[in-house]
Each structure stands twice: as structure tokens, then as C-alpha cells.
Amino acid sequence: MDTIAVDVWLYGALARYGGEASRGSYANLAVRLPAGSTLADLLARLGLPTEERGITFIDGNLSALPGVQPDLGHPLADGARVGICDPKSMWPFQYRHGAAMVDELARALDGWGLRPPQAGEDGNRKGAETQRHEG
């Protein structure tokens, strides 16, 4: 059976699902899964209930937010990197102007009218930056 390797980072209280890899506030572990596995398969392997996770990234792309988790069926590739934060984690400052996201999350947020503008999409943001520099 073909397998894939997934680089998993668990942050905050979720580090406990990393077992021996837990360093208190985070855990980093390599997980092998059958080829074709999804995020749901990874969570099942870790024993991590989806309701306990907050902000989630797959390969640097935002895939879930607390209460918005359309990524369970997202396929994982060999070498994928998955970062899962606990629900009490704050939005990372470096993403203050938006974040790249997986298609499943973009569709879910668009469907609810909640998708924030992504970097380069909001003409008003560019205008505000220009005003600050000119001002």
C-alpha cells in the first residue's frame, strides 16, 4: 500500500494530541497515512475531534476557522504540512490583510458572504496605504 508523509504541527492545548512529540505549547510530528487520505483521516489518526480545532492551515493555506471547517474532505499530498491551532489561538498578525485559503474554505465563506478581501483585491486598502504615505 502506498503511503504519504504529513508534517503535523499542533499548537496550544492541542499539543497533547502529539503524544511524545508534545513540547508543552506545541508538538511537531511526522504522520504516515495511506495515499489518498484526507484531513479527516489525519484527525482520526491523531484522535483529535474536529470540534477542538481552531485556525488550520494546509501547506500554508488557511483551511478552517473556529466553527467553519469545510476542509475535512481535503486530500493530503505526500509531504503536506498541516498546522492546527486550538480555538483560543488568535489570528496570526502576519495574515492581517488576508490569507491564501483552500478552495473548500473560500467557497464556504463566499456562500455566507463572509470572505474577506484577499491581498490585492481591495482597492480601498491600497488607497488607504497611499494616503498614509502621501499624507
Q: pLDDT tens, 60-73?
A: 999 998 888 999 99
The Cα 53–Cα 9 span in angstroms is 12
The Cα 81–Cα 59 span in angstroms is 5
> Is the pTM for the entire model greater than 0.75?
yes
Condensed to tens digits (0 to 9), the pLDDT of residues 33-86 reads: 999 999 999 999 999 999 999 999 999 999 998 888 999 999 999 999 999 999
The Cα 39–Cα 44 span in angstroms is 9
What's the CATH number where 19 sits?
Answer: 3.10.20.30
The domain in which residue 36 lies consists of 3-134
Contact yes or no for 82/56 (Cβ under 8 A): yes
Contact yes or no for 47/40 (Cβ under 8 A): no
Q: 14-18, 44-48, 58-62, 98-102: which range is least confident on average?
A: 98-102
- pLDDT number for residue 95: 62
Count of domains observed in the chain:
1
- pLDDT number for residue 115: 57
Any idea which residue has 490569507 for its cell?
99
